[in-house]
Chain A
Amino acid sequence: MSTSENVLDVRDLSVSFNTARGSLRALRHIDLKVPQNKIVGIVGESGCGKSTLINSLLRLLAPNAVVDDNSEIIFEGEDVMEMGKSDLQGLRGQRISMIFQDPMTALNPVISIGAQMSDILYRQKLTKAQKRERAAAMLAQVGIPDSVRRLDDYPHQFSGGMRQRICIAMALMMNPSLLIADEPTTALDVTLEAQIIHLMKELREDFECSMLFVSHNLGLIAELCDEVIVMYAGEVVEQGNVHDLFHRAQHPYTQMLLECDPARISETRKDLPTISGSVPDLVDLPQGCIFSPRCPKRYEPCNESPPGTFEVGGQHSARCFKVRDA
């Protein structure tokens, strides 16, 4: 085990997909750290590479994906990219676990909840009865009433909110050091969302795990996370702690995201602000800054070469020439 205080340390991760049109460069030079016992949020539009990033962490990429040789994913001192089959089996669900976006489709419809939960415990030498006991205890902990009896029920017998609770219970079964939550509340309505978030906060204290929280709900990120990473079109454009990022956003994209957040719009306006233009073509990248075609603040250097990452101060950095020139 390394002495590093970061549970997860992603360095220079680049992933591309071989498609009929050519190489689609989904992730480019991602650097990202998840410190012990902290929650790191990832924000970005759909298609910005959030899912590819998550899948890379567990090495669950599609067969046509190519990971750049320089890429490193250091998890608790080990490089996930170097792991063999059995190491990966020990990693997935045990040391890194995951909560999925859509609880309605995340559970196998023809296998009972109890069996699905016990299956995750296959790595532990427990009897069937002990596994069921553990499963029932986990269900009770995430607030499923009558948990012992409900082990034999199938997913369709639970509501959406209940199913997400079950997913959370499954994710925490092996007491992982890192929990990845992929938009866990997007598919739920607002009341359920609040309940689930409340549950996750509670559980984080009990289980003492670090968390990577993916969402496009800035309010949730602000409420839950310690640090935030803003992604755009396969790049990390800005990262820093929650306070810096929400109050001193440097990258024009982050600033626009904050403006577009419906919760932050105070005065009544007829039209919601949007970011004009669309995500660039990742097969045929622009020469300069990836955001420049949509950026209201672009100037000469933006069109020439992609900007590096420039520090704003402390842990706060952004990928924008404006930061360098400020």
Chain B
Amino acid sequence: MIARILNIAWKELLHLRKDRVLIPFFIIGGIVELTLIAWATNQPIDDIHTTIVDHDQSAQSTALIDALDDTSTLAHETSANNAAAVRSKMHRDETVVGIVIPEGYAEDVEAGAFPTVRLILNGAHSVKAQEARRAIEEVTFEQGMRERFNMEPAEYAEMLPQISVRYNEDLERGWYTLPAESGFIFYLFTVVLAALAITREKEKGTYEQLLVMPYRSVEVIIGKALAPMVVGFALFLAMMGLTVFAFGVPFRGSLPLLMVLAIIYLVAELGKGILMSMLSRTQLQAVLLVFVLAMVDMIFSGYAVAVETMPPFIRFLSNFVAIRHWLLIVRGIMLKDVGLSVLWPHVLAIIAIGTVILTFTATQYRRQAN
């Protein structure tokens, strides 16, 4: 039985070796995509175009403007005469943030009253606007404490809520997205390869021959899955290496554990690929089907936004998607250094999903064989 499985697997590997497009596409495309994500998510949202209106023209207002200038988040590009000028600049899409310091600002500060500064945000650029708002709130708070109480941030820090962040201390977006992306790329790659395995035979007309050969359905499925699995596993290691060594995402847990779990996960996903392959007539159909499926998987995977914060119904459905469990395992091992004692429900879930898919695939093959 093993010899027969290996025969099929060897034949598949030969096919893959001759493929001069798909494998380079995934390897180069994967590396490019990973690099782009690392680069894009590492970019701080900086130098947001800011227009300042200073009606007060005092030493105090100048000090506030200087303090605002000092942040890397804002770029004080222009000044304007009044708030209306800021709004029309916004309408022309020339600025994102407007700060209006009213007349009498210095007097308020001197008198110990609470001066009001007007902040105009261009909501069309909401991501930048939120970042700017956070920075401005911080700066005005510090500046106000300095002016009114002569206190530097260190002196009153103890009075503010003490918030500490774990696992991803600097809230690097890349630490979340990169493991997810590398997981996603190798998932897509192996499923596409598996999906091509049987459609290739169908297109060439050798599928019928395969059906009448004295192979058992399990042997064909395992044989067909073995080659994509080897290649997929290699890609997985490459992607992990890139994520950790080139992009600096920490790997805190156990690598052998992750590798073993990767194999289990691969088996579950490969079953899906082979099923797609049996259901489609041409290779193109199979690839398209996999892409559509991948998009649905993406919703449930917590790829960009944590599933935990999604509506309960989606959260419930996501339990039936293998990639969600896989991403939780990857993040758990990489960032949180947790072991099987914590991850076992996810491992069991992947095994259960994989078993269902593989059983269905095997019955499907037997049906087609008859």
Do A and B pair up? The answer is: no
> B residues near A, CB below 8 A?
none
